[in-house]
A and B are shown apart, each in its own frame.
Chain A
């Protein structure tokens, strides 16, 4: 599949935003962390900015962005529509939750309700994003049970790295909190690793033989393509990354997205003040870059059933 930059930016940016606001909501509901209200407010605004950037960038690849509002209407059947609905529903809850950190008119009970609602809607929106991919039977590398957990886990991990910066700013980045973020980071990349192991063993049912129904005549290969240059189908769905490059990129994503931030988190837990903050900011930069590489590869490695008609395999 064509790794369109708007979609990669959208999923990784909004994922990090929903992840951060979910951590903040959790912080509010559990009182596990002592965050200064101003830092929390600014962080909520950062999360909303990341979410909005993501949602806006997802409209860049539309042919008619001015009609985007129509995309809310088919929530009964379409995961894309559901995602839009949940994303819109999350805004009022998130805005109340954001304002509640400093605005006395929002009572503690209301603040807690807004936090809980934000947490749930953030989760449901990220699940919907994953389901847009996972619901497509035409792409076996997406149509499996690992895709949604990967989306959710990496959103939690990106949000966690952002949250650790918030903690450092509030002077509340205790070893225990950083270990918690490290734990989520490790688990998320473990899930991603399991996804890669799964797709490597996958044996899709459809072949050029079943696609054309000519399989009973022997092996079916393309003799002549229907057109002399690339068409929409091949540009959009025929993008393929070579297997050896994919392996290299997987390693790169793991090194940048997991190993480096993990080392930096451990170092940060042994330091304090400006040095700790600097280490966590670098960890965040690597962590987010790792997710972007992962997301690019998620598209580039996916093979679409239509390519069977062009003599390729799934």
Chain B
């Protein structure tokens, strides 16, 4: 049913740290690799080695530039399903193929019921859903449902593929509904935020903002030390004498 659960027992989701994401696309590639063989397989590619390759991906890494009077910054920005608490993609679905799980809040598509009308992708502002023209159905991030509960994998491997792949440690996975969880505390500490909050979809996933830039000596905490050293040299007649003596 496309009616939403009043509450979900868990709010599993991802937290992406925009301060340390290096934009390497490892999360996107790893996501593609796992999911091309997992729950939603295959993720069809068309013309993969041709001039205009196109394909289904659940994770896309954008790069933005921000600019104000003082500074210009580059921010790498991975974008995937945010597993919203008010997912319009679910309620617009005419067949009941789209649903939000009561037990963990994950938003999924039932491949057997989807008629491929694409309305859910129109209803999602985050571009989380991509249509597989070969299969004739809509596909989306499953939060690696076939990894996180997979008892055939080592405990440490039971995380979404994107989280495991990230070489910078910019991606975190956990229960954002539990205020005491490690991930919730991280969000609290770093001022994690939701995307497009004005739209009212109440995403579960959070993004951690880039930290203020430290581009002046004073910002790094080493200035006092450097200043002291320079002053020491300047005031020392001994070093001045030595400098002159050696220059001669």
Contacts and interface: CB of A to CB of B under 8 A. Distances in A.
Bin the interface of chain A by size: 35 or more
A136 interface: yes
Nearest to B137: A63
A80 B94 contact: yes
Nearest to A217: B66
A132 interface: yes
Given A80-B117, A219-B68, A228 B193 contact: no
Assign chain B's interface to a size class: 35 or more
Interface string B57-98: 100111111111101111101010000000010111111110
Given A139-B122, A306-B127, A309-B62, A79 B92 contact: yes
A10 to B, nearest CB: 12
Contact of A211 (B3, B73, B195, B210): B195
A80 B119 contact: yes
B156 interface: no
A137 B91 CA distance: 13
Contact of B130 (A214, A231, A309): A231
Interface string B106-137: 00000001111111011111110011110111
A226 B61 contact: yes
A132 to B, nearest CB: 7
A219 B77 CA distance: 15
B173 interface: no
Given A64-B114, A211-B196, A229 B123 contact: no
B95 A137 contact: no
Contacts of B123: 136-138
B181 interface: no
Contacts of A73: 94-96
A68 B115 contact: yes
Nearest to A231: B54
A188 interface: no
A210 B198 contact: yes
Given A213-B195, A309-B127, A71 B117 contact: yes
B30 interface: no
Contact of B125 (A80, A208, A230, A305): A305
B64 A220 contact: yes
B122 A237 contact: yes
B28 A77 contact: no
B73 A80 contact: no
A304 B122 contact: yes
Contact of B62 (A78, A217, A226, A305): A226
Nearest to A82: B94
Given A64-B114, A138-B125, A309-B127, A214 B66 contact: yes
A72 B115 CA distance: 12
A64 B115 contact: yes
Contacts of B119: 78, 80, 132
Contacts of A217: 66, 68, 73, 75, 210
B181 to A, nearest CB: 22
Contact of A64 (B28, B63, B116, B195): B116
Nearest to B69: A218
A78 B63 CA distance: 35
Interface in B181-223: 193-200, 207, 209-210
A281 B220 CA distance: 79
A81 interface: yes
The 5 nearest A-B residue pairs measured at CB: A63-B116, A63-B136, A218-B68, A305-B125, A217-B66
Given A77-B2, A77-B91, A218-B68, 11 more contacts: A62-B136, A65-B115, A74-B96, A80-B92, A213-B194, A217-B68, A226-B28, A232-B130, A237-B127, A309-B126, A311-B64
18 contacts: A63-B114, A63-B132, A76-B1, A77-B91, A77-B93, A80-B92, A135-B92, A136-B88, A138-B124, A217-B75, A217-B210, A220-B66, A223-B64, A223-B74, A224-B63, A229-B51, A233-B130, A306-B125
